[in-house]
Amino acid sequence: MMLKKIVLLSIFAFLIFNLNAQEAIIDVSKVKQVIDGFGASTAWHGQLTTPEADAAFKNDKSNQMGLSILRVRIDPSSSWWNDEKQNAIRAKNRGAMILASPWSPPASMKTNNNTTGGELKPSSYADYAIHLKNFCSHLGNVDVVSLQNEPNIEVGYESCNWTPAQLLTFCKNNASAIGKPVMAPEAFNFDKNYSDPILNDSTANAHVQYIGGHLYGASAYNYTNAISKGKKVWMTEKYFNPDDIETCITMAKEITDCMYNNMNAYVWWYLRQPGCNLIEAGGKLKKKGFTMGQYSKFVRPGFNRVDATYQPKTKVYLVAFKGKDQNVVVVINQNKNTVSQIFSFKNDTVFSVKKYVTSGSKNLNDEGTLKCTSNSFTDNLDAQSITTYVTSKIPTGNHTLKEPEIRIFPNPASDIIQLSSIENVTGWQVYDVLGKKFFTQKHPTSSVVGISSLNSGIYIIRIQQKEKEYSFKFVKN
């Protein structure tokens, strides 16, 4: 009789455990890493057109990705292309950060006098730092500069080979002379053998702010050595060629895994070039572009990842984020059938969620609003789909919706400031402290305010939102 009771209790405990395991719990009180954003590269692209830049970096329409990082190429010839400068300006004016990566130092600085292969001569280390600094000055809006693209593989195109010891020496003695936040090592397979020596040396560690790497032949992992030393960890290059839904599911799983493993950014390879691109010439989003948009449109710079059930059911994966006024949950269903899923939010009040879906037949489709009961809801996940839920903390039904509170960022700023929302914004004006008006905009369609033409100093922006007006001081660097 006792044995029978033990067996029954064990079965009951097993059923309760599995019932709980099937529920996706999002605990917004357990805050993880800050998110810098999602991006792509325009290396060897030529100039983006205005529609292409809008499709990539704006975030006002459903056919725009809202990317927040652009990776540009540093030409080794030093006759720097106007193309990448214009691409950087267009991305920056739409709110993106700029990451600059070199594939090779100038040939004259290398052991083989060639931009393919070879090594950077030790006698040229100081000159190479100046080369990188000059590029940043030429572009004018670089946020992060990398030291070398994929230093750990030999290839037949523009490249340069470094050993971990050589990279460590450069970081110790020369990286600080570049004058911008530095990224290293951008290894082909996110090889820690190239970054751990830098992190473990106090001088080199102080000169590097970002650890970057690529996921070719590797999987996302939690880089505790970098994180414990206060570094941002970015995945800065990966691609998959096909544009079918199975490839997009693989892509989404990798993005989710990068975020789940405490990375701060995910940067795709080609933005527009054929083969592995996110957009077509002219700006039309490919399905991979819509897949990226399931993250980049809603998980904005400054959001934090929060604790959430990683795999509530077989082949169902999710990652969750917290912003100032909303939470975002991105869910992947790898199954070839619809799956019912329960979602519950802890330590927050959530009244409803907006739903967006990319699947074999859908491209960032707006699926409407789902009501939450006691901070929970149940929904059917489409077969082979990526679904994004954006929460609302405002009750639905017969309630008056409040206007979103307006904020500006960054502050201080160099090229642009951005409004946190343009919902019901009727206009804005920029003045100096003496009251001279410099800019005015009625019924803006973009949240970005370009200030690159202003002199350094203190200014005031006045923003009208229906009957309200907000005034902010900001500093132009």
User: How are beta strands 327-333 and 97-102 bridged, if at all?
Assistant: unpaired
* Among 345, 347, 344, 306, CA closest to 323: 306
Cis peptide before 410 (omega within 30 of 0): yes
Other beta carbons less than 10 A from residue 441's beta carbon: 15
Q: Are the C-beta atoms of residues 205 and 198 closer than 8 Å to each other? A: yes
Asked about 405 being catalytic, the answer comes back as: no
Report CA-CA distances (Å) from 430 to 63, 417, 473. Answer: 30, 11, 10
Phi, psi of 266 (to 5 degrees): -135, 120
Tokens of 95: 């709110």
Q: Are the C-beta atoms of residues 249 and 386 closer than 8 Å to each other? A: yes
Q: Which of 237, 403, 467, 469 is catalytic?
A: 237
Task: Report the distance separating Cα 300 and Cα 303, nearest Å.
Answer: 6
Asked about 237 being catalytic, the answer comes back as: yes
Q: Are the C-beta atoms of residues 304 and 354 closer than 8 Å to each other? A: no
Q: Which of 52, 150, 158, 186 is catalytic?
A: 150
Task: Report the distance separating Cα 323 and Cα 370, nearest Å.
Answer: 19
Task: Report the distance separating Cα 372 and Cα 225, nearest Å.
Answer: 40
Q: Are the C-beta atoms of residues 323 and 364 closer than 8 Å to each other? A: no
Residue 396: partners with Cβ closer than 8 Å, 6 or more residues away: 351, 352, 369, 371
Residue 477: partners with Cβ closer than 8 Å, 6 or more residues away: 412, 413, 414, 456
Which amino acids are annotated catalytic? 150, 237
